[in-house]
Amino acid sequence: MRQLIECVPNFSEGNDLATIKQISAEIESVEGVRLLNVDPGKATNRTVVTFVGEPGAVIEAAFKAIRKAGELINMSKHKGEHPRMGATDVCPLIPIANITMEETAAYAQQLAKRVGDELQLPVYLYEAAQPDKKRNNLSVIRAGEYEGLARKIILP
């Protein structure tokens, strides 16, 4: 039985359709992934993307999209009505078929490690993917937003 997970990354760009298309194209370039929705928001200046597939393909597509977003989105100039932590604000994985939340969380941890190692980006896990339950609430992780990230990185 095929395992399926859904990925719903939020990217900190909701106005520049060319940028949004380039990020979406990275997702669509991965065989076995189906792009379901791209929802840009002008006021929030963020785009919510939804795609689904087998875990390995979804992780690859998410990584490629995160990398592309980091190349294209300049957070020092970003303004929007929604809290955000970076070019990719959140990248949740959701179990859809024949997979548990625990297994899905392990894939989230695998993606986080790859993003940290290969892209040299700080990654903050939350909810089921966060092993330290004192740090699993997204609002705690987002405290200080992007502007507070430099200070947050040096904290234990």
Q: Which residues are catalytic?
A: 82
Instruction: Give CA angle at 122 (124, 102), nearest 5°.
Output: 35
Q: Where are the alpha helices (DSSP H) in 5-123?
A: 17-28, 55-72, 101-119
Q: What is the distance between the alpha carbons of residues 15 and 120, in angstroms, rounded to a whole number?
A: 27
Q: What share of the chain is helix, strand, coil (3-state, %, to 5)?
A: 45, 20, 35
CB-side neighbour CA atoms (13 Å) of 90: 20
